[in-house]
Amino acid sequence: MFALAIAARGAVAAGALGAAAPGAVGESPPDPAAPAPPANTAAPVPAGASGAQPAPAAPPAKPEAHPLHVRTAAQPDGEITLGEPVVWTIAIDHDARDTYAPPEKIDPSPLALLGAPSSQRTDAAGLTTTTIRFTFADYKSLEPQIPDLVLRVEGPAGERALTVPGKKLSFHSLIASEGQDSQEHAHHGPKPPVAVMVRSYLWIYLLLGIAATALGANLIQRLIARRRLREKAPPPAMPADEEALQRLAALKAQPPGRGAIFTLSEIVRAYLGRRLEFNALDSTSDELLDKLCQRRLPGLDLRAFEQDVRWQDLVKFAKLEPLPEEFASSIASAEALVRKTRLVPKPKTELASPPPANPADETRAA
């Protein structure tokens, strides 16, 4: 525009000079007697040239910045199709005092800019990296190319600019592929559905359900069995002394003999085992006497009991036939042992009787 204005001004000046030159066609020479125009009078302006103004001067170009390193990358880097977004990443390693920013106005042609560019600054030890990302898409061009971008740079050295060259992209046309004869390059439309293996946890859930069912059934079965045991629970065991006395009373009705002595020995041993809480039935006579010496059962005449035990051993192992008097005496000794060594229950504390009423109160009530 500035060159056109200069050419127009030159043409106008040439026309004016031509009109004022002597000897021009159809024009007479100026009269020497005519008064000369004043010196400060402006020259006549041709018609149509009064509105022409000189174009403004272009702003001076900013100096080029020189960072440490510039890296560019396009994603995807291979062929693209119509409408496919392309991310153009610019990574700049520079001085920490400088700031790099995207340009204020971007002409993305022949591509289209998708959204505003993003900028990220990372400061490390002695090195700062600014990463700027642009997202483009091709909607109309068969020869897509990322345009050159001029980044704004500010720092101690003043305002500068960094020109990042663009990149030519490869375009893949689906329409052109339909006409290919090769089966590798021909486009055959949508592909048939393909079976995809999807991870399923159905079997795990089934196994967990079966395990939970079995556990619940086992728990219910145990509860039922426990309830049945409670319902069929045997009556509480009879005290050891009462059981021994009842068995000794029943033994009196039996005829005397070696078998009765065996039963008598078993009754006494069972009572002592329950009374002192040890296995007296499986103990030998010496072991039984040692236990009684250690335990010191109150009311037990250990020397007389030892004589009874030795006599019972003669009957059981030496096949000594007991006399009726000896049999009756042995039962009496066993009953006396049980009664003298039985566990005496603690007496229940009687409730204290209420204090007598005050005679004065009774007189008042009367």
Secondary structure letter of residue 66 according to DSSP = -
- The span from the CA of 243 to the CA of 239, in Å, is 6
Residue 310 has pLDDT above 70, yes or no: yes
Q: What is the largest CA-CA distance in the chain?
A: 199
CA distances from 326 to 218, 312, 319, 321, 337 (A): 60, 11, 15, 10, 16
Neighbours of 269 (CB within 10 A): 19
- By DSSP bridging, strand 118-124 and strand 127-137 are antiparallel
pLDDT at 351 over 50: no
Chain mean pLDDT for the chain: 77
- At 171, the pLDDT band (50, 70, 90 cuts) reads confident
| Statement: residue 96 has pLDDT above 80 | yes
Q: Looking at the predicted structure, is the pLDDT value of residue 289 above 80?
A: yes
- The pLDDT of residue 252 is above 90: no
Q: What is the DSSP letter of 253?
A: T
pLDDT score of 1: 32
- What's residue 266's pLDDT? 92
Q: Quote the Cα angle for 123-126-132, to 5°.
A: 40
Structure-model confidence comparison of residues 361 and 322, the more confident one: 322
Instruction: Read off the pLDDT band of 72 (50, 70, 90).
Output: very high
Least confident window among 86-100, 174-188, 268-282: 174-188
Residue 234 pLDDT: 66
pLDDT at 16 over 70: no
> Taking residues 140-161, what's their average pLDDT?
89
pLDDT of residue 210 exceeding 70, the answer is yes
* Confidence check: pLDDT of 366 > 80: no
Q: Is 314 helix (H, G, I), strand (E, B) or coil?
A: helix
Q: CA torsion, points 31, 34, 39, 42, in degrees to nearest 10?
A: -80
Looking at residue 80, its pLDDT comes to: 85
**More confident of the two residues 324 and 361:** 324
209 has a pLDDT exceeding 90: yes
Whether the per-residue pLDDT at 306 is higher than 70: the answer is yes
Q: Summarize the confidence of residues 282-296 as an average pLDDT.
A: 87
Confirm if 130 and 119 have CB atoms less than 8 A apart. Answer: yes
Cα dihedral: 107, 109, 111, 113 (round 10): 20
How far, in Å, CA of 140 to CA of 213, rounded? 65
Mean pLDDT calculated for residue range 119-141: 88
Helices (H), the chain: 2-20, 174-177, 202-231, 240-252, 258-276, 285-295, 302-317, 324-341, 359-365
The pLDDT confidence band at residue 26, using thresholds 50, 70 and 90, is very low
246 vs 130: CA distance, rounded Å: 105
pLDDT over threshold 50, residue 91? yes
CA 88 – CA 132 distance, rounded (Å): 8
pTM comes to 0.36
Average the pLDDT over each of 17-31, 41-55, 161-175, 344-358 and give the range with the smallest value: 17-31
The pLDDT confidence band at residue 60, using thresholds 50, 70 and 90, is low
% of the chain residues with pLDDT over 70? 72
State the distance between the two ends of the chain, measured CA to CA, in whole angstroms.
Answer: 139
- Find the angle CA(95)-CA(101)-CA(107) to the nearest 5 degrees: 140
Instruction: Give buried/exposed letters for 210-219 (b at 16+ CB in 10 A, else e).
Output: eeeeeeeeee
Instruction: Indicate the burial class of 130 (C-beta count within 10 angstroms; 0-12, 13-18, 19 or more).
Output: buried
